[in-house]
Each structure stands twice: as C-alpha cells, then as structure tokens.
C-alpha cells in the first residue's frame, strides 16, 4: 500500500506499524503533507511545530520493542479541540482574548501521550464550545 493512500484509522495505522514497517517519523511527515494539501479552511487554530512532532516521533522510535508493543496508541496522531490544555501550547477556546499558554496538560492529553500518541495540534471550535454549528469563531 502506498503511504500516501493509507487510512488514518487506528486499525490501519496499527497494521502499518506492526506488519509493514511504518515508523513514527514517516507518519509525521505524511501528516504534515496532508495538512499542507488540505483545502478546507479554518480547521486548525494551532499546529504543533514540525520540529516538535519529529522530536516526539524520534522519542517513540527510540523505545524498545517491548515498550512499543505495550503502548496501545504507539505513533497514532491526535488533534484536540482548542479548549483542552496542552502544556507549553496556547489554548484559546476559540476566543483570541482568552488565549493563554497552558502550564500543564489536561489529564486526557497526558493519558494519550502515555499511550504513545502524537499531539498534532488544536482544532477550531465555536467560542467556548457554546455553539452548535461551528460558525462563531474568529479563526
């Protein structure tokens, strides 16, 4: 299967890692390529820098096979709505005046990363997640 056509479903990515030699650094490059080629505007409020993604991927690759196999989300990319804190990254809840840099990650983020996930970025949402259709965001 061509990497450009792989599905980003959990089962597909797990299969690629376990049976076809996919590495997290390669997947990060593919994620960045897909984001760059995306024509849907306003998906992202914030994207983690490519260098941060590669550091995370390299860290995962340095793990022993036993540790890798114990991580249910090894190398799986994830995005969060921008009302969930990720340490060192801005949180806006869709409101520029509310923006702050999180001093600590939310428990959810810690658990995703402990399970081997790779944080990609923060997605758009109605301000303070109060809307119904995603149309009330300055982003």
Task: Enter the pTM of the model.
Answer: 0.91
Give the pLDDT confidence score for residue 106 in this predicted structure: 98
Give the pLDDT confidence score for residue 1 in this predicted structure: 46
**What are phi and psi for residue 13, nearest 5 degrees?**
-65, -40
Q: Which segments of the chain have a pLDDT < 70? A: 1-3, 131-136
Neighbours of 55 (CB within 10 A): 13
Secondary structure of 63-102 in HEC code, one letter for each residue: CCHHHHHHCCCCCCEEEEECCCCCCCCEECCCCHHHCEEC
Q: From CA 36, how far away is CA 18, in angstroms rounded?
A: 27
pLDDT, one tens digit per residue, over 35-61 is 999 887 788 999 999 999 999 999 999
The pairing of strands 118-123 and 44-47 is antiparallel
pLDDT, one tens digit per residue, over 82-91 is 999 999 999 9
Give the pLDDT confidence score for residue 129 in this predicted structure: 77
* Length, in residues, of the chain: 139
């Amino acid at each position: 299967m061509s990497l450009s056509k792989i599905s980003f479903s959990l089962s597909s990515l797990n299969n690629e890692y376990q049976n076809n030699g996919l590495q997290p650094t390669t997947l990060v490059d593919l994620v960045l390529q897909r984001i760059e080629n995306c024509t849907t505007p306003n998906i992202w409020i914030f994207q983690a820098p490519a260098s941060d993604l590669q550091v995370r991927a390299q860290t995962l690759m340095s793990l022993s096979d036993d540790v890798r196999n114990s991580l249910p989300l090894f190398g799986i990319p994830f995005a969060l709505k921008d009302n969930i804190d990720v340490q060192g990254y801005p949180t806006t809840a869709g409101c520029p005046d509310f923006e702050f840099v999180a001093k600590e990650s939310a428990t959810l983020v810690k658990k995703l990363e402990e399970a081997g996930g790779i944080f990609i970025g923060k997605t758009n949402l109605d301000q303070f997640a109060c809307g119904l259709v995603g149309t009330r965001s300055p982003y």
